Amino acid sequence: MRSTSQILFQEALATAIQITERLGTTLADDIVLVRDLRGRIRPVLPTKPQGHGLQQYRDALARELGAYGFEPGRVVLDEPDKLYGAHFVR
């Protein structure tokens, strides 16, 4: 595995997808990965997740995405209405 300080922009999305497939699918069926203007990636979950897997998912994303992630407490958005307004399209 590459050091997180050396992850490249073009590798970050593929890494986030791999982590989501490995750990995120236990939290929700529909996960949207959003990349902001700085290139940082975070998942948006349709509902607030429950269970032990959330912390593992947060930690893995924060650790492996490096500069293209967020700290564990801010990495997962679980209130899509705040991101999309009142309309969450499925």
Could you give the CA distance from residue 64 to residue 41 in angstroms, rounded to a whole number? 11
Joined tokens for residue 61: 């994303």
Q: What is the pLDDT of residues 1-29, one digit of tens each?
A: 444 458 999 999 999 999 999 998 888 88
The pLDDT of residue 45:
86
Q: What is the pLDDT of residues 22-59, one digit of tens each?
A: 998 888 888 889 999 999 999 988 888 777 788 899 99
The pLDDT of residue 78:
78
Structural domain spans, the chain: 4-84
Which comes out higher in pLDDT, residue 61 or 83? 61
pTM for this prediction: 0.80
User: 82: helix, coil or strand?
Assistant: helix
